[in-house]
Structure 1
């Protein structure tokens, strides 16, 4: 599975234990890999690499940290270890015919028990994981400088037909395969920057909705984040804004000024089906209220997927419109937030004040 390196680093900086198991980080100067919540001294960013599984870290020549014991989960629960090993297998063989029966034989489980165990431990079904692994491989093939053409890449990634891939690309890539291969060529994204009560905000929009709402310290850094995702898209400052965009921005400004608690904005995001399920639920959490990661998992019918819910929240690139700031730890602590805990606290305080006085 692909990792968002910026989000992973933020998890390390905040020692976010809710992401333990979601990824691991290796410190190349010491040769050790850790959980995100490890209490060891924070390493320098340039010395850190991120891994989706412990197996990846070990294959990179790293050993498990003696302080946070990243292998303890697999050791304490052999089934968890088998499922995580199966994830490694899927990542390496995404181009193969990975039926549920074949995956079950790989680790000695019936299809029924594999389906239940995989969803409970990973947070998604085996089919969803296979789809994501194939999409990752497909993206990598398209982005190779002298890679295969689009049709060949589709079959090389493990899709049995063109139609099966095209069914998924609009949701997962946000563009057609050819547009993705060309780095977003032909996609038009207009952006606008403004100062808000919680800092600088850059908003990016297509003709279908808001694709980018992020906060940061500099306009240049935020634009780099947008350009990294669509290196050959037509990204330009908002000229004469459409009536829809003006309405969206007015709503955001009213919300950030503390005058609009029940904000509803159209979003145009790429996501897995699990992420979409989580994000749609987040949009139903009332302003001024919070849910824990476990409560969200239970609400969407997957009570054991709290960690997967945390990852879905951390993957959100459309702040406020998808209100991931309304999800906290079960202990009552704020937990992580992509744009910093100070902003998360301010947003929650603003909403509580507004709903109490409104």
Structure 2
């Protein structure tokens, strides 16, 4: 049975037209003219009369359809719950997997933050859950106010081995202290990898939690910051010396 969230074909058609990421894996769309089945967020635009809905991939295949090469409906999609909240430095978006926080980004526009989330995790089921993530958002807002404090939330940052090593080294920088890219490169045992360290800092998915704002140029000047140099300056100013 198709989930009650999309109780009829009209609701499923509306979800498809909206490219609803929360509908991925809840039902599948069969397109008679192309002979494929898709998830709701697929970029295709079939006509209504050419569409049928299926509760499972197996049902779609039994109807003689094959998986769409564009949206890859046969992938096992994990679910990420997300929400946006206010902080003293603008908006924060958090996204959580079953294992912990996967993403924390900062910005000024909720829609832009959501688009960034969807671009980062294009094959995940993205479900808005502001009520369920209210405690996470409060903890993040408190952390932005006091970036030197410990955060008692599980994290689930995904990256390459080098990126994970850099992010772990960043979390070892004491509050109120800074380090250069070269310092971090030496800390992870790759003293010639300063440029790769800079790239890993730019790819950091957990703003403030993994404190890439504590990385500065070799001369002590502020370097770039994915979420804005003014936020970086403010975070550093809030940390105890």
Inter-partner Cα distance in structure 1 for 2:131 and 2:224: 37
Provide TM-score, normalisation by structure 2. Answer: 0.64
CA contact (8 A) 2:94 2:105 kept: yes
Tell me what 1:193 maps to.
84
CA contact (8 A) 2:79 2:125 kept: yes
RMSD: 2.4
- Asked if residue 261 in structure 1 is aligned to residue 149 in structure 2, the reply is yes
CA contact (8 A) 2:84 2:130 kept: no
Inter-partner Cα distance in structure 2 for 1:275 and 1:222: 22
Tell me what 2:180 maps to.
292
Inter-partner Cα distance in structure 2 for 1:183 and 1:193: 30
- Asked if residue 322 in structure 1 is aligned to residue 199 in structure 2, the reply is no
Tell me what 2:114 maps to.
223
- Asked if residue 309 in structure 1 is aligned to residue 200 in structure 2, the reply is no
The equivalences for 1:228-243 within 5 A come to 228-238=119-129, 240-241=131-132
Inter-partner Cα distance in structure 2 for 1:258 and 1:348: 10
**SS of match in other structure, 2:233:** helix
- Asked if residue 339 in structure 1 is aligned to residue 204 in structure 2, the reply is no
Provide TM-score, normalisation by structure 1. Answer: 0.44
Unmatched 5+ stretches in structure 2: 1-70
Shift, 1:323, TM fit: 1.0
CA contact (8 A) 2:105 2:227 kept: yes
Inter-partner Cα distance in structure 1 for 2:170 and 2:228: 19
Query: How many pairs align?
Result: 172
CA contact (8 A) 1:191 1:203 kept: yes
Cα distance, 1:226–1:183 mapped onto 2, change above 3 Å: farther
1:280-308 CA distances to partner (integer Å, 9 max, x unpaired)?
11111111111111111111111111111
Inter-partner Cα distance in structure 2 for 1:287 and 1:183: 45
**SS of match in other structure, 2:218:** coil
Inter-partner Cα distance in structure 1 for 2:210 and 2:74: 26
The equivalences for 1:1-358 within 5 A come to 181-182=72-73, 186-238=77-129, 240-241=131-132, 245=133, 247-258=135-146, 261-263=149-151, 265-351=153-239, 355-356=240-241
Tell me what 1:82 maps to.
none
Shift, 1:184, TM fit: 6.8
Shift, 1:271, TM fit: 0.9
The structure carrying a bigger helix percent of its residues is 1
